[in-house]
Structure 1
């Protein structure tokens, strides 16, 4: 039969256990901030704000060139007559329709590359800017647009300037900002991974703790009696 549990000893240890628990909770509350569990790094946006602004600027490019072309179509003749002359009876030297098509080409390439596929390289905008610049230079040299009206100056210059502004914005704003955000995010992830072992240590084996054997009841009284006996013997030796 197993021996009965002495609940009197357990009751005597309850205040000590409660005191130990209270001190442990106070110690945990007083821990400095590096010992708290690190907050997970913020989630990266699938579409950054600076890239969204770039896509809006590309859309503005198309709409602005389209608006200028429509105004040019309606400046001297009716819009339907001008459309027939510039689209159906297209002439490289006198038509502005190709500048509008060039704007559509830039819009499709840049939106597909940097909005749909979310590329992080400059090769797409390099192609669009190169094609735009080469075509507009050839258009200005070979055509007689300057002899027609003010739009012979406005449309080529506007298309050329906007194309290079898109290149500058992507290279110096979008790609640079996203590279910096990526570096900061990876640094936060690495810092969280390095702090995790400090907060969640590995399991400790039972052999690392040592509990001394419990002293027998009345052992202090025996030690006191033994000490008194030794003192009495020492005094007798000195008397002899």
Structure 2
């Protein structure tokens, strides 16, 4: 129980001060959102430039054709002229159809998604202001921190039963909820409105990951090798395909957690698909913001992309789940060197196999938008991203095996060093 060591006046004064800080931060956030709202989005601007160029090109093509026809009317057969007219006409029709397709499937969905993101930020900021005003008695001293459960203080312990992917799906609702969730802890007024928005994003990512894992049908096999399988499918409310890797790995869930979560700064040592990966901002003990740069692909044809994502983990007994999603981080703006990509809901799940703690079932979820300037065939993306997911798993497995060998050799060397010398 929290002990109150200050008078009621001081408590109310502190609460009012905390509320003023929160209101100030969220108001600045609202102003920032309003300042970023543009009457003409960048994707629509690019589309208009494309349409303008297409119109000019077709106009010039028709002018050149008509001029050449009038100059060579006597020596050019009428049949050839008609064929040329048909070709130009069909080109105009196909071009217009492509423009409509791009507008309907690329431009409008991205604008809609951008508007929804701004609406969520505004809603989150308004909610925080309302909470601070309606409940001034809440302050940093009266609200104990309730971070995510860590591997050490998990409430379920290691006695919980595990029964494969099915058991994980059946226990989805048993995961400890994120801060600021309806089933979770109270709002911490000491944290900024921006951090609260990040935690809300993390909560959304976990909900979407749970929804993805609960679907067992409709998956298309993209790649399969031994006990490793990569599948994909579309989900309502998620842009682009979701890729899922399922495999077994000779490692405990704690070893996987240490590499993927605690060893974020060492990711480039084993993950060949990234050239930079680092921690940007720690929100709670179980939520942070990371920055990563993907390596070039297809022999340099696909340039490097960088990503800024919020990630968080939850633990249910001996099942570990980490979810992540792209966020806008004000302290790290996009740079000209890289194309800023956008990650949808992604992450990983690790669960021991039956009663063997040294072997784990492992799932990796990937959903990403590489922000190509031109349309790219889906088959090309399926091939490239399924290979990326495979390489990530191979790198993780190899890295853990090397760590185990290093520890084993160190132990063996120490034991030999302590052996008595026989004369």
Larger Rg: 1
- Shorter-chain TM-score: which interval? 0.3 to 0.5
Greater share of strand residues, 1 or 2? 2
Structure 1 length as normaliser, TM-score? Answer: 0.40
Give the structure, 1 or 2, with the largest relative contact order (CA under 8 Å, sep 6 or more): 1
Structure 2 length as normaliser, TM-score? Answer: 0.24
